[in-house]
Amino acid sequence: MALTQVSSNKCAGGLQKVFEHDSTELKCKMKFAIYLPPKAETDKCPVLYWLSGLTCTEQNFITKAGSQLAAAEHGIIIVAPDTSPRGCSIEGEDESWDFGTGAGFYVNATQDPWKTNYRMYSYVTEELPKLINANFSTDPDRMSISGHSMGGHGALICALKNPGKYKAVSAFAPICNPMQCPWGQKALTGYLGADRSTWEAYDATVLAASYSGPQLDILIDQGRDDQFLSASQLLPDNLIAVCSEKKIPVVFRLQPGYDHSYFFIYSFINDHIKHHAKYLNA
């Protein structure tokens, strides 16, 4: 799988790069961003996968989150893929901001016309890690995952569906119970169809209820002034209740005054990278 470098910038002593490649899962060209800390020049480094939210590309996180200094300090590679296939000429893919382009929801679609291209779950958990491990100085046994909003949903389901694959998981303002919120119901209906039982495989709250893998320490930050929290899109209480019942360790921090934006992510990204470093560098 050939990579084409799109950009490369010196940053925090390392390199912030963007690459393009032909995806076999998504049947289109995809871009991903990768931060290579200074340590990657001489050693194999662990990888933190970052999944972004609705409307985002690979650019939002690398230009707004300020993650590179902490990644350099802890010797962690950070990979940030795009949020959906693009340019697939699917009717309706660009009609709304919360479905289709920029809104892949990290599921494998089963419904026409989405099922050929919209396979972000397999892309993130299988194709992309293989690509990264084949082309960069990584330790394939040390990977973790994080994300924001729709990407927080993605990070949680990837970790819960693959016990032991990821050393740690964290999320900012994740969509915790998509079966019960408007964003999730729209996306899951469109990508998976009307049978709600098929949605359960991509709902963190449902997955947590049946989780039986190794201990997974979860860190979640949520802005108290997040407009989507008050609009019942995120529903963290549902996930926390299930994790409490199942004794899955969750640190949930409700941050006063913070909203849903990247200003919020920038404010706490260092804590999240430290959380991942604790497990990735153990």
The residues annotated with a catalytic role in the active site are 149, 226, 260
Collapsing DSSP to helix, strand or coil, 66 comes out as coil
Q: Cα–Cα distance between 39 and 282 in angstroms, integer?
A: 16
Cα 166 from chain centre: 12
The C-alpha angle with vertex 10 and arms to 6 and 14, in degrees rounded to 5, equals 105
Other beta carbons within 10 angstroms of residue 254's beta carbon come to 13
* Amino acid at position 195, single letter: D
Exposure string (b/e) for 25-36, b if CB count within 10 Å is 16 or more? bbeeebbbbbbb
Contact 227, 259 (CB under 8 A): yes
* Amino acid at position 228, single letter: F
Of 188, 161, 167, nearest to 177 (Cα)?
Answer: 188
Contact 74, 167 (CB under 8 A): no
- Give phi and psi for 9, each to the nearest 5: -135, 130
